[in-house]
Amino acid sequence: MNPELNLKSTNNELTIIPGKYVVTKNIIIPKNTKLIIPKGTYFQISPEVSIMSYGQIDILGTESEPVIITSLNPNQPFGAFGIIGNNKEKSLINYLDLSGGSEAWVNGIFFSGALSIYRTNVEITNSKIHDNYADDGLNIKYGDILIDNSSFYDNFADQVDLDFVTGVVKKSIFKESNSDANGDGLDFSGSK
């Protein structure tokens, strides 16, 4: 359904072939399908367009070849990049650089963060979430988490909002934006 993507499919896994992609319509990954985004993959997403997965996503960037997700038009944000799980799967995000996103309604689900991860266990390492227009740069709801060695800055309001999660946040930077003086660096609503 998304011929603009160069994919390899095996069993219940879809692997993006590294390259530069322009995404002009919503991409929705179905349940029971794992999406792998390898190093060197670059997404430019059109205004108000979102990428959403109902299953595990592994973003496998490296220091020299990060995965970059940004807006196609620097003055108009894309929708959101979202993961909706079943509280059993674990997504891995390493060396992701995500900017230019906002918030979005997709399939009746509201994503309040440019990167929104709901009901999914996740490890986020060596990543940068910045210059997003959503209420949250990163929003995680319900899951076990690790955030390590990552930077969150210049997002509209909250840099990171963790709702009802359990986990560890370490060696990371949360820098306020100039847009909303009331925003939080790190919001732990109901979390441990």
| pTM, to two decimals | 0.95
End-to-end alpha-carbon separation of the chain, Å? 40
What is each CA distance from 156 to 2, 51, 142, in whole angstroms? Answer: 30, 20, 23
Q: Is the dihedral of CA 70, 72, 75, 77 positive or negative?
A: negative
Q: CB of 59 within 8 A of CB of 67?
A: yes
**Length reported for the chain:** 192
Tell me: the pLDDT tens digits for 57-114?
Answer: 999 999 999 999 999 998 999 999 999 999 899 999 999 999 999 999 999 999 999 9
Ranking 14-18, 130-134, 173-177 by mean pLDDT, the lowest is: 173-177
- Strand-pair partners of 158: 136
- Using the 8-state DSSP alphabet, how is residue 159 labeled? E
Predicted local confidence at residue 185, as pLDDT: 83
Residue 179 binned pLDDT confidence (cut-offs 50, 70, 90): low
Q: CB of 42 within 8 A of CB of 19?
A: yes
Evaluate if residue 180 carries a pLDDT over 70.
Answer: no
Evaluate if residue 182 carries a pLDDT over 80.
Answer: no
